[in-house]
Chain A
Amino acid sequence: MNFELMWQAMPLLLTGAGVTVQITALSVMIGIVIGLFVGVARISTYQIIHLIAAVYVDFLRGTPLLVQIFLVYFALPVVTGQRIDPFIAAIAACSINSSAYVAEIFRAGIQSIDAGQMEAGRSLGMSWMQTMRYIIVPQAARRVIPPLGNEFIALLKDSSLVSVIGFEELTRRGQLIIARTYASLEIWLCVAIIYLVMTVSISRLVAWLERRYKIDDQR
């Protein structure tokens, strides 16, 4: 094992890891915004809204992320006639994919809140939307922290798939270095360790957040 090479490759890999964190964080944030609306739409009593949201979620959960990346990067330009920047394509595919999982997390979180809370809000004359906003969602938000953390970790790992469209995140950086050095063992090991450090850090962070808000919940 060539430790010298591993050491030399580190700065390049770490900047790749930075890019990985960037697309993951951005995708999760966009995914949370879209997912909140889709999740609420999933429990809507309006049949059409409910149906559209269900199809959206089913499609994104029922097809591989890799295929979704290809659809955005290769298939979409065929329709629009315009090439897409790999960064935009990566963020778009990851965030839309993530939004489906996030929507399910929000839906479950909202449905876990006692029905009496909605009744109490409505009985005071608040609209469905107001009750959702002030009563239901704030309570559900605490319960969705752990599953959202899991989604963040899953997406961080899955983001390695965007290497196939040439976007230089951690996995792609590893491939490029190996193409020059042929040091498969050393570089893939480094890449794996960097992913591991990132995922473990996130799960620790989530556990800390969970503890903090649990105390809030019990006040």
Chain B
Amino acid sequence: MISVRNLRKSFGSVEVLKGIDLDIAEKEVVVIIGPSGSGKSTLLRCINYLEQPTSGEIVVDGMKLGETDINKVRAEVGMVFQRFNLFPHMTVMDNITLAPMKVRGVSKEEAEADALRLLEKVGLADRAAAYPEQLSGGQQQRVAIARALAMKPKVMLFDEPTSALDPEMVKEVLEVMKELAREGMTMAVVTHEMGFAREVGDRVLFVDYGVILEQGTPEEIFSHPKEERMQEFLSKIL
């Protein structure tokens, strides 16, 4: 579904990604962990071209980035941000229906029916008329997930989706993500939630200093880490 070859990304003179190779299969859930500043978010943001790679090749669902109309690629790639980034001047309903109507050309009735179904799925069917500010952080993030799903994407990218949440709201968001994984959504998740990585991840990547230092099943990574830096990182957070 996603293939990344020798991806490099520099900001000015700082090289954040130093040659990343990564393949994500259909229905696979890949969890990306690593210290802050390691480049894991940048990697995720390169996959939908929010960051333009300095060099390397990225192919998403058969579309090569940089050669395909980027809006077409992004329509197939949902993204959930750390800070939700809901549109504050629109109701929850309008947040969710805007892109399907404007990008996919879906009718208003159809988009709203879809949105209601998605809101039900994330447990917020009764908040369709609310504005983002009236919702808790956890609810906002669930709306953001519904908004991304409304485009019927083939892949979902999660950029630290629970990092800006109060601890008691983390679970409700993770539950929605688990449900999504169970349904067979292809997912790439940058997170510090090791419990989630262990439970839901098909594969865990440990990124540090702009390279994938180690990867494997959650069992391999968490129980038998090979790299010293990986062991050090785990000892700090577990």
B133: Cβ under 8 A from any A Cβ: yes
Contact B79 A126 (CB under 8 A): no
B136: Cβ under 8 A from any A Cβ: no
**A-contacting residues, B86-106, CB 8 Å:** 86-89, 98-99, 102-103
Q: Cα distance A89–B71 when bound, in Å?
A: 44
**B-contacting residues, A158-201, CB 8 Å:** none
Contact A117 B133 (CB under 8 A): no
Residues of B within 8 A of A216 (CB): 89
Q: Cα distance A122–B71 when bound, in Å?
A: 7
Contact B50 A125 (CB under 8 A): no
Decide yes or no: A124 and B85 within 8 Å by CB, A130-B102, A219-B131, A219-B134 being known contacts. Answer: no
Q: Cα distance A208–B76 when bound, in Å?
A: 44
Q: Cα distance A125–B106 when bound, in Å?
A: 14
A123: Cβ under 8 A from any B Cβ: yes
Q: Cα distance A219–B135 when bound, in Å?
A: 11
> Could you tell me the distance in whole angstroms from the C-beta of A147 to the nearest C-beta in chain B?
19
Contact A120 B85 (CB under 8 A): yes
A127: Cβ under 8 A from any B Cβ: yes
A218: Cβ under 8 A from any B Cβ: yes
Q: Cα distance A121–B148 when bound, in Å?
A: 10
Contact A124 B147 (CB under 8 A): yes
Query: Chain B: interface secondary structure?
Result: mixed
Q: Cα distance A217–B85 when bound, in Å?
A: 15
> Could you tell me the distance in whole angstroms from the C-beta of A119 to the nearest C-beta in chain B?
6
Interface stretch, picked from A53-61, A79-87, A133-141, is A133-141
Residues of B within 8 A of A124 (CB): 74-75, 98-99, 103, 147-148, 151
**A-contacting residues, B68-88, CB 8 Å:** 71-72, 74-79, 81, 83, 85-88
B48: Cβ under 8 A from any A Cβ: yes
Q: Cα distance A122–B85 when bound, in Å?
A: 12
Q: Cα distance A155–B2 when bound, in Å?
A: 56
Contact B48 A123 (CB under 8 A): yes
Residues of A within 8 A of B147 (CB): 124
Contact B89 A139 (CB under 8 A): yes
Q: Cα distance A124–B131 when bound, in Å?
A: 19
Q: Mask for B121-141, Cβ within 8 A of A = 1, else 0?
A: 000000000010110000000
Decide yes or no: A125 and B74 within 8 Å by CB, A117-B87, A139-B89, A218-B133 being known contacts. Answer: yes
28 contacts between A and B (CB under 8 A): A114-B85, A119-B81, A119-B85, A120-B85, A120-B87, A122-B74, A123-B48, A123-B50, A123-B77, A123-B78, A123-B81, A124-B98, A124-B99, A124-B147, A124-B148, A124-B151, A125-B71, A125-B76, A125-B151, A126-B99, A126-B103, A127-B71, A130-B102, A130-B103, A134-B98, A139-B89, A216-B89, A217-B88
